[in-house]
Each structure stands twice: as structure tokens, then as C-alpha cells.
Amino acid sequence: MTRITTAPTYRKLRSSRASRGKNNKKKYNKPSKSHRRKHFKKMSSKASPSKKVTQQTLEVAGELFVTKEEEVEKLQQEINKKNGELGHYKE
């Protein structure tokens, strides 16, 4: 038995296939593109304080990293001095 594909059945098949997909469903109350752009701009402007906070935390982390690096250098120098003093005890 052959299947007859007329325009209405073809449309029905396509709609049922599309409705199976998660993101393919028609969004009836979907806002216009310009409205979405405006909303996105508002949201991005609200997010700016968090950027400032992240910048501050990065600066603080950078300062801590520099101080830790200096401490490491000092300790390395002390170790080198002690190794130099105890160099004749090796072997």
C-alpha cells in the first residue's frame, strides 16, 4: 500500500516532527527582537557592578601574589645562604 502525500498531510507531518523537538515549538508570546535587545541592554548595564567587584578581587589577588612571590624569594635566599654555610659538610 503506497502512501499518498498531499499538501495537508505533508504539513501535518512536518508540524508533528517539529513539535517533537525541544526548541522547535512555536513561542506565541515571544517578544520582538527589538524588545529583547532593549531588555538585554538593561541586563548588561545592571551587571557592571559585578565587573567592578571582580576587578577589585583580581587586584587584591595580584597584590597577594606579588607579596607571596617576594616571600618566596627571601626564603630561597636564606636557603641558599644556609646551603653555602653547610656546603663543606656534604659528602
Locate 2 and state its grid cell.
503506497
Q: From CA 76, how far away is CA 70, in angstroms rounded?
A: 10
Q: How many CA atoms lie within 13 A of 68 on its CB side?
A: 6
What tens digit of pLDDT does each residue of 16-60 get?
555 556 666 666 677 777 777 777 776 655 556 667 777 777 777
Tell me, what's the pLDDT at 9?
54
Q: Is 91 helix (H, G, I), strand (E, B) or coil?
A: coil
Q: What's the confidence (pLDDT) of residue 48?
A: 61
Cα(25)–Cα(30) distance, rounded to whole angstroms?
11
Q: Smallest Cα–Cα separation from 67: which of 59, 56, 79?
A: 59
The fraction of the chain above a pLDDT of 90, given in percent, is 0
Sole residue written with cell 512536518:
14
- Domain ranges in the chain are 50-86
